[in-house]
Amino acid sequence: MTKIKGAEAFIETLRREGVRHIFGYPGGAVLDIFDVIMDVKDIKFILSRHEQGAVHAADGYARSSGRVGVCLVTSGPGATNTVTGIATAYMDSIPIVVFTGQVPTHLIGNDAFQEADVVGITRPCTKHNYLVKDVTDLPRIVKEAFYIARTGRPGPVLVDLPKDVMNATIKFQYPEDVSLQGYKPVYKGHAGQIKKLVDLVLKSKQPVIYAGGGVIHSNASEELRKFAHLTRIPVTTTLMGLGAFPSDDPLSLGMLGMHGTYRANMAVTYTDCLIAIGARFDDRVTGKIDEFAPKAKIVHVDIDPTSISKNVKVDIPVVGDCKLVLKDIIKALERRQEEVKELAKRLDTWHGRIEEWESKYPLRYNKGSKIKPEYVVEVLDKLTPEDTIVSTEVGQNQMWAAQFYKFRMPRLFLTSGGLGTMGYGFPAAIGAQVAFPRRTVVDIAGDGSIQMNIQELATAVQYGLPVKVIILNNSYLGMVRQWQGLFYKKRYSHTSLAVSPDFVKLADAYGARGILVEESSDVEDAIKEALKIKGPVLVDFHVDPEEDVYPMVPAGAPVSKMLLV
């Protein structure tokens, strides 16, 4: 068997894992790999303009496609620049594998040029990480990395590649399977626990399904819809779960939590049976935990046993994959059709109460002479195809997108939920556009957050990626300003962005297209024009600078105590 260099073996391992795209940035420690990449035809390398952007792009690629995203960067600052992107993926359970260059093994620990202990640095924010010390371990480690990233509760894995390991030679042989002692994710739910769950549901009078991102990760949206329609149980989703259940379905309550709908938060407050599926009871969802679903028996279905009863004590835990557990729940319900019919009929009163909440306090905003950001999102929803992929930055723009854009299918909404990373949306949109070159991809951004990774506009232009950026420009760090206005006596400390770039000129400087919109009457025409343009576009909407996101649950308050428009 002919020997090959470690760098060649590395690329072959990616090929065996079905990798089609790599996002990243070159540097000295990974030059041997990049020399091999130059001759590779079946894997495309996408050059970002910053390593953080590369990781977010790999993340957006993974969220939208369901495949593992891949990132490759150099050592030292190249590796440390990935940390925010890795932490973002970790908090939201996104399967990516990040490969970092490292100084030669004999220099590790010597404070060599561009050396950083990236394994130590990323240990708290990766599902697992590796330092490859011997080239013969490389194929096994890479295979394990992909396996760990995509199985169980997905997450990021980092593999550190010393330069001398990439130069060493190996008789390449890729392992056929993976066996990791102590890592055996449970996919099949316990039959006894599922029976208890079904018994509880069939006895309930005011049940609510609370669905999170785990439903999307396990491709269980179809099963969720079937479960809801079979029983007529209303469904609320987390921010990460948007699209897991069609937002325009009659059973949809919309999003719950800090900026959730009134009906969703009230339904959770008064439910007697809360069925949590693939959600983790985040503090932005629960509000004051002591008063979260106080009248309910709580069921929790999750593949990660450490998430169950971590934040909220549950009555019936079910460890397993959402898709498989939902299939078993549906089968059990179909064997008890008379009881299911009785439940569905009994829920008429519950649905009536929910309709009253919705009619009393629907999602709304006050019209005015200035452009309202909610209106921009509504028009965007009206004009874009049903399979449009929408990413967001973080802050008010994120919440308006979640509230006013209708997500009818999974994997169409890309946002940083757990970490709340400004600068996430644009590079994530680039990753999604790489995965789906023929789809419409839109990033809904704020004028503050878009500047965090605006340099990736060069990446979009270079690769002809027609991402559309909708900037809701209010000249503030909007969400922080909103909190200052409500809770800090309007002391607007360092949240004004009075000095910002001319985004039209900036787009032009990068070789893209910029459009300025200052009147409400021009909103629809501007979006239509942007969608027709084949390349990347920045549309700068000068929106009402004092518009706030409502409803809003103040920090520390129960979700039933909402501030309303």
Rounded to a whole number, what is the largest CA-CA distance in the chain?
74
Helices (H), 82-238: 83-91, 118-122, 138-150, 163-167, 191-203, 213-217, 221-231
Q: Read out DSSP for 99-123? A: EEEE--GGGTTTT-TT---HHHHHG
**Strand pairing report for 273-277 and 297-302:** parallel
E strand or H helix that includes residue 22: strand 21-24
CA 14-424-473 angle, to 5 degrees, is 150
Q: What is the DSSP string of 467-522?
A: -EEEEEE-SB-HHHHHHHHHHSTT--TT-B--S---HHHHHHHHTSEEEEE-SGGG
Residue 353's φ and ψ, nearest 5 degrees, are: -65, -40
H-only helix segments in 384-497: 396-404, 425-435, 457-462, 478-487
Query: Quick check: 251 and 229 in contact, CB under 8 A?
Result: yes
Secondary structure percentages of the chain, helix, strand, coil, to 5: 40, 20, 40
Distance CA 59, CA 63 (A): 6
Laid out side by side, the sheet with 207-211 consists of 252-255, 235-237, 207-211, 273-277, 297-302, 316-319
The DSSP H or E segment spanning 381 is: helix 373-383
Centroid of chain to Cα 441: 15
| DSSP state letters, 121-142 | HHGGGSSEEEE--SGGGHHHHH
Active site residues: 51, 113-114, 163, 479
Q: What is the pairing mode between strands 3-5 and 169-171?
A: antiparallel
CA separation for the pair 223, 245 (Å, rounded): 10
**Alpha-carbon span 55 to 122, nearest angstrom:** 14
Q: In one letter, which amino acid is 214? A: G
Residue 433's nearest CA partner among 456, 454, 464 is 464
Angle 221-231/322-334 helices, nearest 10 degrees? 30
Distance in angstroms (rounded) separating the CA atoms of residues 399 and 377: 11
Instruction: Name the nearest CA neighbour of 376 among 359, 401, 357, 394.
Output: 401
Q: Is residue 404 within 8 Å of 357, Cβ to Cβ?
A: no
CA torsion through residues 207, 213, 214, 217, sign? positive
Cα gap 259→549, rounded to integer Å: 7
**Residue 65 φ/ψ region, left for φ over 0, alpha for ψ in the -120 to 50 degree band, beta for the rest:** alpha
